[in-house]
């Protein structure tokens, strides 16, 4: 994915030097969802995001030299199509980036990348109480109607 610029906002893949800017946003995302992870899980996630052999990828939104938004996405097989699906797993922006089009720009960057990589679908989940995010999501995608079930081990 090439770097994209929208005004002062730069959208680009993560680089190895982004860990310091990624960490606070990743922790903000976890805090928003009232979750915590052991440091080794965060370290593994970061390593996967940078490993070209992994199906997991990340994009940064940079404003005035500061990472103000992050998105992670994962490619996986589907029984319904020959190509992959793209799961947009995590999306988070800093307070100063909200209502500035950063979230939309990150979603659009995932759409662009997924299409270029031959994925037939981009999809994601959000919590039913995440009203702020749902306002954006209703503008950039359609609701599938499916309900998620899970068993945690």
- Tell me if 148 is assigned to some domain: no
Check pLDDT > 90 for residue 1.
no
- Tell me if 135 is assigned to some domain: yes
Residue in 9, 11, 7, 10 with CA at minimum distance from that of residue 112: 11
Q: What is the pLDDT of residue 119?
A: 97
Range of the domain at 28: 4-140
Q: What is the pLDDT of residue 121?
A: 96
- Tell me if 132 is assigned to some domain: yes
Q: What is the 3-state secondary structure (H, E, C) of 34-53?
A: CCCCCHHHHHHHHHHHHCCC
**Whole-number percent of the chain with pLDDT over 70:** 95
Please count the structural domains in the chain: 1
* Residue 36: band (very low, low, confident or very high) from pLDDT cuts 50, 70, 90: very high
Q: What is the pLDDT of residues 53-97, one digit of tens each?
A: 999 999 999 999 999 999 999 999 999 999 999 999 999 999 999
- Tell me if 153 is assigned to some domain: no
φ, ψ of residue 131 to 5 degrees: the values are -60, -40
State the CATH number of the domain containing residue 98.
3.40.630.30
Check pLDDT > 80 for residue 2.
no
- Tell me if 150 is assigned to some domain: no
Report yes or no on whether pTM surpasses 0.85: yes
- Tell me if 145 is assigned to some domain: no
* Residue 3: band (very low, low, confident or very high) from pLDDT cuts 50, 70, 90: low
- Tell me if 146 is assigned to some domain: no
Check pLDDT > 80 for residue 18.
yes
Check pLDDT > 90 for residue 4.
no
Check pLDDT > 70 for residue 101.
yes
């Amino acid at each position: 994915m090439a770097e994209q610029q929208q005004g002062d906002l730069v959208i680009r893949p993560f680089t190895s030097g982004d860990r310091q800017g990624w960490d606070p946003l990743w922790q903000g995302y976890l805090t928003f969802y009232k979750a915590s992870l052991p440091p080794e899980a965060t370290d593994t996630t970061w390593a996967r995001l940078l490993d070209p052999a992994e199906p997991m990828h990340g994009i940064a939104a940079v404003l005035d030299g500061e990472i103000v938004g992050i998105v992670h996405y994962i490619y996986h097989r589907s029984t319904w199509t020959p190509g992959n699906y793209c799961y947009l797993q995590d999306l988070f922006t800093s307070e100063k980036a909200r209502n500035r089009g950063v979230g939309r720009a990150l979603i659009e960057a995932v759409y662009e990348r997924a299409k270029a990589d031959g994925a037939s679908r981009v999809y994601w989940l959000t919590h039913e109480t995440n009203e702020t995010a749902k306002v954006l999501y209703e503008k950039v995608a359609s609701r599938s109607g499916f309900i998620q079930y899970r068993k945690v081990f």
